[in-house]
């Protein structure tokens, strides 16, 4: 029973629907990312590399010939049995120009050498290959001590262009009052979350769901703010002669 509850709550954290309003501490962020990725996923074709794939939460959204997961080589990542390949944090274990597309979700902020990392992505992409990249903007520190950076929309665009990409589309996610309610729940998650699945379920329903619901209602009537947002989603193309 406890295991089933834990697995259900975990599933809702990555695929938030109506129940996510009640069970997902990160409902607004995850829902916004999933919607934006869903809008762009159809443009990814052929052989696709997921860099920092984790549990591959968006795998089901891509209709590609081959979906390859890559992770940092750690005992935890190998034990999860999700990634097909592992690397040392420097060089990807692939030949140049071997992929039609790369997806990289909420990873760049954990990379200290961003130019080297994007250079490797550029190297393994075919000319005109696509990169679907998501990064946080307004977020607390997480996965400490491996949290190194936040990027404004201008900084991210400049970084990608410097490393041989051109921007096809760039979106700001939750650029409205939902950012405040999501940050409130992020705070509550840090101070209230426990080791016990049933307790966490009650915390979600009692303490966090009201803020999820308020955000889902109020953003429809309150003005947006394009300068304050949770995350960015970027679709970029490798410059053919880059």
Kindly report, residue by residue over 83-128, the tens digit of the pLDDT: 999 999 999 999 999 999 999 999 999 999 999 999 999 999 999 9
pTM of the model: 0.92
Q: What is the pLDDT of residue 4?
A: 58
Structural domain boundaries in the chain: 1-43+176-225, 44-175+226-242
Residue 96 CB coordination number (10 Å): 12
What gap in Å lies between CA 27 and CA 149, rounded to an integer? 23
Q: What is the pLDDT of residue 9?
A: 58
| Cβ pair 169, 235 in contact under 8 A | yes
Q: What is the pLDDT of residue 241?
A: 73
Classify strands 125-136 and 231-238 as parallel, antiparallel or unpaired.
antiparallel
Multiple choice CATH, 44-175+226-242, 3.40.190.10, 3.40.50.300, 3.20.20.10, 3.40.50.150: 3.40.50.150
Can you point out the beta strands (E) in 82-151?
85-87, 99-105, 125-136
Q: What is the pLDDT of residue 11?
A: 58
Instruction: Pick out the chain residues at pLDDT < 70.
Output: 1-16, 242
Q: How many residues does the chain have?
A: 242
| Cβ pair 177, 237 in contact under 8 A | no
Give me the phi and psi of 152, to 5 degrees please.
-70, 170
- Rounding to the nearest 10 degrees, give the CA dihedral for residues 181, 187, 192, 198: 40
Q: Quick one: tokens of 61?
A: 């959204």
């Amino acid at each position: 029973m406890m295991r089933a509850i834990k697995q259900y709550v975990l599933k809702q954290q990555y695929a938030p629907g109506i129940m996510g309003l009640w069970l997902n501490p990160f409902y607004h962020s995850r829902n916004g990312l999933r919607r934006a990725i869903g809008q762009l996923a159809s443009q990814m074709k052929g052989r696709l590399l997921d860099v920092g794939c984790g549990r591959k939460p968006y795998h089901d959204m891509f209709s590609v010939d081959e979906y390859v997961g890559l992770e940092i080589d750690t005992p935890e990542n190998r034990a999860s049995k999700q990634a097909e390949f592992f690397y040392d944090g420097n060089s990807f274990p692939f030949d140049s120009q071997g992929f039609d597309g790369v997806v990289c979700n909420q990873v760049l902020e954990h990379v200290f050498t961003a130019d080297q990392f994007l250079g490797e992505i550029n190297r393994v992409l075919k000319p005109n290959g696509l990169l679907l990249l998501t990064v946080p903007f307004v977020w607390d520190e997480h996965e400490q001590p491996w949290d190194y950076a936040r990027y404004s929309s201008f900084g991210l665009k400049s970084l990608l262009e410097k490393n041989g990409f051109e921007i096809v589309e760039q979106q700001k996610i939750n650029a409205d009052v939902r950012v405040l309610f999501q940050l409130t729940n992020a705070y509550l998650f840090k101070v209230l979350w426990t080791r016990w699945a049933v307790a966490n379920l009650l915390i979600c329903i009692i303490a966090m769901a009201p803020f999820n619901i308020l955000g889902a209602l109020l953003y429809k009537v309150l003005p947006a703010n394009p300068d304050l947002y949770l995350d960015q989603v970027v679709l970029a193309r490798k410059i053919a002669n880059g």
